[in-house]
Amino acid sequence: MIGGGLAGSEAAWQLAERGHEVVVHEMRGVRGTPAHKTDRLAELVCSNTFKSTETSNAHGLLKAEMRLLGSVVLWAADQARVPGGSALTVDRDVFSGAVHERVSTHPRIMLVREEATDLPSPGIVATGPLTSDALAEAIRRRLGVESLAFYDAIAPIVSRDSIDDAIVFRASRYGKETMDGADEGGAYLNCPFTRDQYEAFIDALTAADQHHGHEFDEVPYFEGCMPVEEMARRGRDTLRFGPMKPVGLRDPRTGRDAYAIAQLRMEDRGGRMWNLVGFQTRLRIPEQQRVFRTIPGLENAEFLRYGSIHRNSYVNSPASLTAHLSLRDDPLVLFAGQLTGVEGYTESTATGLLAGINVSRMLAGEPPVVPPPTTMIGALYRYLREADPAHFQPMNANFGLVDDLPTRVKDKRVKREQLAERALGEMSAWRDAHTLSGATL
Ligand SMILES: Cc1cc2nc3c(=O)[nH]c(=O)nc-3n(C[C@H](O)[C@H](O)[C@H](O)COP(=O)(O)OP(=O)(O)OC[C@H]3O[C@@H](n4cnc5c(N)ncnc54)[C@H](O)[C@@H]3O)c2cc1C
């Protein structure tokens, strides 16, 4: 096990509880990262919440599924819980103390303080967004230079059913651009701006409040990763000549080119999630809601993922890894945690949990398994397997990833409750079918 963060601690525990001897290589203690402050396993680097516990919320559902599989990280979070409404909020020291104690004193786990510089087989690499340089180099040598990114530049994603079809229109520029899943109308949804709407949008964008992260998190902007607000500051027309250029996109309602266009590109094959092309941003979340909802057609947009720009090492999983997130030429070298292109504490832990289960299965001569895409964990894995490698960006848990219900349910809350009920039923059945009883906690 390389890395004793959230994913690594969970994976090590799952393996040890299934009878395997595990060595965890964690470099903190001999070598720090720019964000961690202690040498404890599973340190939370920033906020102290695992988000909602309600299963009608995507993060709540993800946690409920992980509980069915016996997550030690969630067990520790319960021990460390502090009041936080419906969110699972923790005392960070009590939390990492509990994980550290439980994992490092396990009779089958040995904790070694050292920086790993190579990929172990069998083994799990879960070195997170701040993977050390030497190991990052080893990953690039093995997977190819293009396969490991050091920054993410994430554009927001909105749900299809929250986009106003009375305003947006479907078209590809000059009718030319094509992509998988594009219908005859074209690959993109286009939000047309009048001049006044564009001017008001630029004013709102340039005045909005942006997130200031740690110093190490200051990303050297290069083309393709420049925040949309930074482009807007460079000149009032910069966006109109960049990602918002209106040419070749005639608005069928007016018969003319709009003054500017914001484009949305389909993010998933089911067409439930649409990505605001070129809108990577450092705006704070409430500001993203306020400013991007002034885009014509997105007045009621439901954000499934917010934009961000971070320092973040992650593998282009759809281009480089197998369905269970192993090397293609060695199924026993798995990746887990944020390094696989999931985003967030809980998502990272979930991939650690499944990696531990799968290494255990393979060592026993059984094939690796992944839950169905009707579950949140299965849907995240499907994203990592099937997302377009050319536009791959890290992803958090959200309902847009999960297969639709067989019949349409209009009420959003009812729909989510039904999706959650189905997911938990299928996760239990999947667990039992593969005799994956949760670890004892
Ligand atoms: C500054 C910052 C703020 C964040 N804020 C949040 C937040 O508020 N909420 C949220 O949900 N997510 C947040 N994230 C994302 C967060 O890092 C992940 O969700 C989570 O920590 C990922 O878990 P992980 O196990 O993949 O990586 P980590 O928890 O980072 O664990 C990786 C471990 O690997 C070790 N390591 C690295 N390289 C080596 C090596 N070569 N040899 C041995 N050990 C090594 C590291 O020391 C670390 O302990 C943040 C990330 C950063 C960088």
Cβ atoms of 260 and 243 within 8 Å: the answer is no
pLDDT at 177 over 80: no
For residue 195, give every residue at least 6 positions away whose Cβ sits within 8 Å of its Cβ, in sequence order, or none: 259
Q: Give the residues surrounding ligand 1 with Cβ less than 6 Å away.
A: 2-8, 25-28, 33, 35-36, 45-47, 115-116, 126-132, 135, 214, 217, 337-339, 344-345, 348
Q: Does 320 have pLDDT greater than 70?
A: yes
pLDDT bucket at 224, cuts 50 / 70 / 90 = low
Q: Which of 420, 354, 415 is nearest to 381 (CA)?
A: 354
**Do 358 and 17 meet the contact criterion of CB atoms below 8 Å apart?**
no
**Runs of H (alpha helix) within 294-411:** 317-320, 345-363, 376-386
Measured CA to CA, the distance from residue 23 to residue 21 in angstroms comes to 7
Q: How far is the CA of 115 from the centre of ligand 1 (A)?
A: 15
Helix (H) or strand (E) holding 200: helix 195-207
Q: Report how far residue 372's alpha carbon sits from residue 367's, in angstroms, rounded to the nearest whole number.
A: 15
Q: Give which of 383, 382, 374 is closest to 423, Cα–Cα.
A: 374
- The pLDDT value given to residue 120: 96
Q: In ligand 1, which atom is closest to the CA atom of 216? A: 1
Q: What is the mean pLDDT of residues 295-312?
A: 95
Pairing of strands 188-193, 81-82: unpaired
**Mean pLDDT in the chain?**
94
Would you state the pLDDT for residue 269?
85
What DSSP element (H or E) covers 148? strand 148-154
CA–CA distance, 184 with 202 (Å, rounded to integer): 32
Query: Quick one: pLDDT at residue 95?
Result: 98
Is the separation of the CB atoms in 17 and 27 below 8 Å?
A: no
pLDDT number for residue 109: 98
Q: Residues of the chain with pLDDT > 90: what percent?
A: 85
**pLDDT for the residue 174:** 85
Residues 6 or more apart whose CB falls under 8 angstroms from that of 4 comprise: 12, 24, 25, 26, 28, 41, 42, 103, 111
pLDDT, position 173? 87
Which of 61-70, 98-107, 175-184, 214-223 has the lowest average pLDDT? 175-184
pLDDT tens by residue, 398-416? 999 999 999 999 999 999 9
Residue entry with tokens 């927001």: 156
For residues 221 and 78, the model is more confident at 78
Q: What are phi and psi of 297, to 5 degrees?
A: 100, -15
List the structure tokens of 141: 């040598």
Ligand 1 probe mutation, 9, 37, 45, 308, most atoms within 8 A of CB: 45
Please give the DSSP secondary-structure letter assigned to residue 74.
Answer: H
Pick from 82-91, 173-182, 212-221, 278-287: least confident: 173-182
Tell which one of 46, 215, 343 to mutate to probe ligand 1, the residue whose CB is within 8 A of the most ligand atoms: 46
**Which pLDDT belongs to residue 417?**
97
Ligand 1 atom 12: the closest Cα is on which residue? 344
Q: What is the CA radius of gyration of the chain?
A: 22
Q: Binning pLDDT at 50, 70 and 90, where does residue 210 land?
A: confident
Residue 178 reports pLDDT greater than 90: no
Rounded to an integer, the average pLDDT of 235-244 is 96
How far apart CA 226 and CA 222 sit, in angstroms, is 6
User: Which of 166-180, 227-241, 348-362 bottoms out in mean pLDDT, i.e. has the lowest?
Assistant: 166-180
The minimum-distance atom of ligand 1 relative to the CA of 35 is: 1
Say whether 73 sits in a helix, a strand or coil: helix
Q: Which atom of ligand 1 is nearest to the CA of 25?
A: 43
Q: How confident is the model at residue 435 (pLDDT cuts 50, 70, 90)?
A: confident
Dump pLDDT digits (tens) for 64-77: 999 999 999 999 99
Instruction: Identify which of 99, 82, 91, 87 has the alpha carbon closest to the alpha carbon of residue 59.
Output: 87
Check whether 219 has a pLDDT greater than 70.
no
Pairing of strands 157-159, 273-276: antiparallel
pLDDT of residue 208: 95
* Range in 166-175, 314-323, 420-429 the model is least confident about: 166-175
- Cβ–Cβ under 8 Å, residues 126 and 3: yes
In the prediction, which pLDDT does 23 show? 98
CB 22 within 8 A of CB 15: yes
The sign of the dihedral angle between the CA atoms of 286, 58, 82, 104 is: negative
Q: Which residues pair with 260 in a beta bridge?
A: 193
Q: What share of the chain is helix, strand, coil (3-state, %, to 5)?
A: 35, 20, 45
